[in-house]
Chains A and B, each alone.
Chain A
Amino acid sequence: AQSVTQLDSQVPVFEEAPVELRCNYSSSVSVYLFWYVQYPNQGLQLLLKYLSGSTLVKGINGFEAEFNKSQTSFHLRKPSVHISDTAEYFCARGSARQLTFGSGTQLTVLP
């Protein structure tokens, strides 16, 4: 079965510092990967996606992620975080039929 693992349940970081949120997926021939952000009491918003092509994917709000097939990873990075980035982040894999999510990483940006 397809699976997604987010190793860090909580990541505290100071404002303007860089951050990396880790995501690993179970190996498969083809893989489609996503990062979503969820603010309190809201639905999920797509940050970025990898379907094929360039392994470095740029998304909204200054986030980017790198698809690494050999390490089966898709880590999310931002060079300088803001207070407003405080939210829950979910890595997911899937297809047109469904998404399989990781358990999420709570990013807390400290002043």
Chain B
Amino acid sequence: GAGVSQSPRYKVAKRGQDVALRCDPISGHVSLFWYQQALGQGPEFLTYFQNEAQLDKSGLPSDRFFAERPEGSVSTLKIQRTQQEDSAVYLCASSWTGGEYEQYFGPGTRLTVT
């Protein structure tokens, strides 16, 4: 079946612009995660949803970052007033709940802020 998809794959934004990044998880996956991966680094956790409920947003770096999953499926990560330090690859992952903990990752969106 289809895996996790993300769009756009590449996004260039001018500093100060708002951006929206989309994630389509695997159908039926209850849990959805967002990670930020800076160049040459491992992914860092941003936020976690179970269905439509955002249960953990402790990794969001500032109040300019906002994520939603209104119907428990597709999720959007929004970054307001982008800054150069926001340049990174944003990865989305989804999983079943049930204790196996395996997360399936999308290809990521590479955001470049100029």
Interface residues of chain A, those whose CB is within 8 Å of chain B, are: 4, 32, 34, 36, 41-46, 49, 51, 90, 92, 94-104
Contacts of B48 in A (CB 8 A): 97-98
Instruction: Report Cα–Cα, A4/B99, bound state, in Å.
Output: 21
The digit string for B25-44, where 1 denotes a CB below 8 A from any CB of A, is: 00000010101000011111
CB-CB under 8 A from A49, the residues of chain B are 100-102
B108 touches A96 (CB 8 A): no
Which chain A residues lie closer than 8 Å to B105 at the CB level? 36, 43-45
Chain B residues bordering chain A, tally (CB within 8 A) = 28
Q: How many A-B residue pairs have CB under 8 A?
A: 63
How far is the CB of B71 from the nearest CB of chain A, in Å?
A: 21
- Give the nearest-CB partner of A104 in chain B: B42
- Chain A nearest CB, measured from B51 CB (Å): 13
Chain B: minimal CB distance from A110 (Å): 21
Interface residues of B (CB under 8 A from A): 4, 31, 33, 35, 40-45, 48, 55-56, 59, 91, 93, 95, 97, 99-108
11 contacts between A and B (CB under 8 A): A43-B93, A43-B105, A43-B108, A49-B102, A51-B101, A95-B101, A97-B55, A98-B48, A99-B45, A101-B42, A101-B44
Beyond A98-B45, A101-B43, whether A43 also contacts B4 by CB under 8 A is yes
